[in-house]
Structure 1
Amino acid sequence: MNSTGKILLVAFAAGALGLVAALALEGPGPLLKTELGQRALNGALSASAPPAPAGLAVAERGEPLPAFRLSGLDGQSVDLPRAYAGRPLLINVWASWCGPCIQEMPELQRYSTEQGDKGTQVVGIALDDVEAVRDFLRTTPVAYPILLDTPGPADAGVRLGNPKGVLPYSILVSADGRLLKQRIGPFEHGEISDWAKP
């Protein structure tokens, strides 16, 4: 092996050792905050998930979001993604019993306020009981729309590309309705603005 090959081998080994040390000391958190880490996690979870129910349309990165209908807190039907067409859309799937979901709600509200009427529309989908969601929102109010679904093998999270049902789960949808990004896990303060850039 020539000297260039040896240098590359040593550099690769040092990089791998650094990655292992970082994971051992800090856990996978920093890696999971990267787009590459999120793609790897989503791929691993998808590979180990049971198949989606027959005939269920599931969102795929780069493809148009499958259309489906949910109810809002007011009982009115909302057709996704058509109801928010023409604007980028950040959909966050959560539940009132999910600790990390609760922790990220102020960040989602901050981002929604920052975006206003012209930027990315934030929509929450609660996989929860309507009364539990209403009780939760009394103590942690948000101004962005909240839709409801029942947890299960064909719920909104699964339809949006989260077959294992890990919460919280967020996706970014382009203004023309294509799935751009997926994120498993909560956002920390200030993270959404960079993540939601197409």
Structure 2
Amino acid sequence: MRTGTKVVLVAVAAGTLGVVAGLLTRGPGPLLRTEPGQRIAQQVLQANAPPAPEGVAVAKRGEALSKFAVAALDGGEIVLPDDFAGRPLLVNIWASWCGPCIREMPELDRYARAQGDDGTRVLGIALDDPAAVRDFLQRVPVSYPLAIDAPGRADAGVRLGNPRGVLPYSVLVSADGRVLKQRIGPFEDGEVDDWARH
């Protein structure tokens, strides 16, 4: 074996050990904060997930989001992606009992407020009981619109590409309804701005 090949193999092995050591000492957080880490996590979740029920389309990065409806928390119906056509949309799947979801909500609210009339819109979809969500919002209000869906094998999270139901879960949809990015886990302060650039 040539010296150059040995050096490359040693470098690859050292890099792999570094990633493994980081995951063991700090958990998957640092890796999940990268786009390659998110892509890997998404592939793992989808590869090991049970199949969606017949007629339920599971969103995939780069493809058009199939149309579906959720109940608006304040009444009525929200149809994705149609009701948000013409502007990018960040959809966040959450629940009132989910600690990481609760921690990221002020960051999502800050981001939504900063977008103005022509920036990315934000929609929260709670997989939760409507009464629990309303009670929660009395303590932690947000300015962006909210919807509600019953958790299950055909819920909004599954349709947005999260068949395992990991929370929180976010999706960035383009102005023309294509899935640009999918994210497992919460946003830290200031993190959503960079993530939502497309």
For 1:114-153, list aligned pairs within 5 A: 114-153=114-153
- 1:57 aligns to what SS in structure 2? coil
Moved more, 84-93 or 16-25: 16-25
1:182 aligns with 2:191: no
For 1:29-108, list aligned pairs within 5 A: 29-108=29-108
TM-score (norm: length of structure 2): 0.97
Moved more, 160-169 or 21-30: 21-30
Residues matched between the structures, number: 198
Matched with 1:25 is: 25
Q: Give how far 1:19 is off.
A: 1.5
Q: Give how far 1:70 is off.
A: 1.4
Q: Give how far 1:75 is off.
A: 1.2
- 2:40 aligns to what SS in structure 1? helix
Deviations 1:37-91 (A, max 9, x none): 1111111111111100011122111111111111112211111111111000000
What is the distance in 1 between the residues matched to 2:166 and 2:36? 18
Identity %: 66
Matched with 1:7 is: 7
Moved more, 32-41 or 19-28: 19-28
Q: Give how far 1:105 is off.
A: 0.2
What is the distance in 2 between the residues matched to 1:10 and 1:79? 52
Unaligned runs of 5+ in 2: none
Unaligned runs of 5+ in 1: none
Paired amino acid for 2:173: V
Deviations 1:125-156 (A, max 9, x none): 01111111111111000000001111111000
Paired amino acid for 1:98: C
Deviations 1:90-114 (A, max 9, x none): 0000011111100100000011011
Matched with 1:191 is: 191
Deviations 1:157-184 (A, max 9, x none): 0011100011111000001100010001
What is the distance in 2 between the residues matched to 1:24 and 1:58? 32
- 1:119 aligns to what SS in structure 2? coil
- 1:83 aligns to what SS in structure 2? helix
Q: CA RMSD in A?
A: 0.9
Matched with 2:167 is: 167
